[in-house]
């Protein structure tokens, strides 16, 4: 903010520069088991159990949407009275909001360690960011994407020639598969590789730096889907040497419907605006002569504004910037160490239950974030997830997680088998499919956690899995509108 604006608004937005809640009271070198989670909204919410009573809700679905950091909520609340439409406004609140909006852009660029020439474009989500990039591809661009991607990375490329790469079983195989595909492409021309940083199904980290090197060695560019990586690990555009990175605020503890596409400006500057309208246009004039007389001529912005038409979501953008600052101040070394402690608890607890099979592409020793998917012998996954919620107050996710090809590969099912994100493939009690032998189950259970997860939540989850497997559900369930719900 300018000095005058900063002085005037300081009482309201002071939380924006306040220290984040420290993840560890004993320092980064201590046992991560003693670390405290970051403060998030909903940490004291209680929910009813079908068996009677209430329990504090265990939110273990961070991979879908992480709870908002208390710090983010406080920052947004402090700014809210000063809320105004950004850009071009003469009024004080508009000027202040514009300054805050652009400061937020700078904060995101710093969080991602962007190059000086990179642009930070604010979008609605990771999906929106990748669709924006797809719309900006130069003519004749070839796209290379692994079948293991989330649908947000898998589906936007219809207007390009797409090569879908088979699921690799090691990081080295991923690099080798990409290198072969790029070497075989003909004729040469613009090419883009799209890859995740961390799987939304297995949590496994992908060899992004090595894939970027392979792409660049063959004259291709690369975009990183960091939706699952950025909330758990530092993301440096420069160190990873990626051309673009996309992520969502709602997975980064800032659930206000905003996302980011950051990276090289040239393809974005040369493309038609993602949306045509105010904000994207620098100048619009009537065409008075020649072909098309009576129409309009438009000069579009060449900055990030080119792809931010309309009134932007300043609240959502500020929330992302607040979350970026909070995670940076908390320190990713400590956050990663604490999350590794939780991962070991969950994986160790699940491994002690013989009926549970954890899904993995790269094997048990692969580095990963706090996202773990599994199936349970003798259980429909939707039934199991419903019982975790209704009987233990634990929120997880079941289904194919908007990564259908990957989950089917991990489960060994045919690519054409039916299935929907989150929908059970059979009614509770009908068990024509199991996770070992016979026809494989068509969906899985996913538990995910992060910087705001206390140990008690993962301990309760492990205990609940063990009890459900050994003792069975205490309640009856039925299928209603495609979902498994407690029978009443």
The residue with tokens 């970026």 is 324
Give yes or no: 324 in active site.
no
Separation CA 40–CA 61 (nearest Å): 14
The residue with tokens 């075989």 is 184
Separation CA 334–CA 160 (nearest Å): 42
Residue 116 C-alpha from the chain's centroid: 25
Q: Considering 141, 194, 324, 402, which one is annotated as catalytic?
A: 402
Residue 275 C-alpha from the chain's centroid: 23
Q: Which residues pair with 376 in a beta bridge?
A: 356
Q: Residue 367: exposed, middle, or buried by beta-carbon count in 10 A (0-12, 13-18, 19+)?
A: middle
Active site residues: 402
């Amino acid at each position: 903010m300018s000095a005058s604006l900063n002085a005037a608004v300081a009482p309201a937005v002071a939380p924006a520069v306040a220290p984040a809640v420290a993840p560890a009271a004993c320092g980064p070198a201590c046992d991560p088991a003693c670390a405290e989670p970051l403060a998030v909204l909903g940490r004291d919410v209680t929910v009813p159990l079908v068996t009677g009573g209430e329990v504090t809700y265990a939110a273990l679905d961070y991979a879908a949407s992480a709870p908002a950091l208390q710090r983010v909520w406080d920052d947004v609340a402090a700014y809210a009275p000063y809320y105004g439409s950004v850009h071009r406004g003469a009024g004080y609140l508009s000027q202040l909001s514009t300054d805050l909006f652009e400061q937020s852009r700078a904060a995101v660029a710093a969080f991602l360690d962007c190059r000086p020439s990179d642009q930070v474009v604010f979008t609605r989500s990771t999906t929106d960011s990748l669709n924006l990039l797809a719309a900006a591809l130069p003519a004749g661009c070839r796209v290379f994407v692994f079948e293991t991607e989330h649908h947000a990375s898998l589906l936007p490329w219809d207007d390009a020639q797409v090569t879908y790469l088979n699921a690799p079983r090691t990081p080295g195989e991923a690099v080798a598969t990409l290198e072969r595909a790029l070497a075989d492409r003909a004729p040469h021309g613009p090419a883009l590789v799209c890859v995740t940083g961390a799987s939304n199904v297995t949590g496994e980290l992908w060899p992004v730096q090595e894939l970027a090197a392979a792409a660049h060695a063959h004259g291709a560019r690369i975009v990183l889907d960091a939706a699952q990586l950025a909330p758990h690990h530092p993301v440096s555009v420069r160190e990873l040497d990626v051309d673009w990175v996309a992520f969502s605020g709602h997975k980064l503890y800032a659930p206000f419907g905003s996302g980011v596409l950051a990276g090289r400006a040239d393809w974005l500057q040369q493309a038609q605006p993602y949306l045509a309208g105010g904000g994207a246009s620098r100048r619009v004039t009537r065409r008075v002569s020649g072909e098309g007389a009576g129409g309009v001529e438009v000069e579009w912005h060449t900055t990030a504004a080119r792809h931010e038409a309309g009134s932007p979501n300043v609240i959502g953008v500020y929330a992302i910037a607040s979350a970026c600052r909070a995670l940076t101040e908390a320190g990713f070394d400590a956050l990663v160490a604490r999350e590794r402690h939780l991962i070991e608890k969950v994986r160790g607890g699940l491994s002690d239950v013989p009926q549970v099979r954890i899904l993995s592409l790269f094997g048990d020793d692969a580095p990963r974030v706090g996202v773990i998917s599994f199936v349970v012998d003798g259980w429909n996954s939707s039934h199991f997830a419903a019982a975790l919620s209704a009987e233990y107050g634990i929120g997880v996710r079941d289904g194919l997680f908007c990564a259908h090809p990957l989950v089917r590969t991990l489960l060994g099912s045919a690519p054409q088998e039916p299935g929907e994100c989150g929908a059970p493939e059979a009614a509770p009690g009908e068990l024509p499919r199991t996770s070992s032998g016979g026809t494989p189950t068509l969906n899985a259970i996913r538990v995910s956690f992060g910087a705001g997860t206390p140990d008690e939540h993962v301990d309760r989850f492990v205990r609940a899995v063990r009890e459900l497997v050994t003792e069975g559900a205490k309640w009856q369930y039925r299928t209603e509108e495609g979902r498994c719900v407690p029978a009443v």
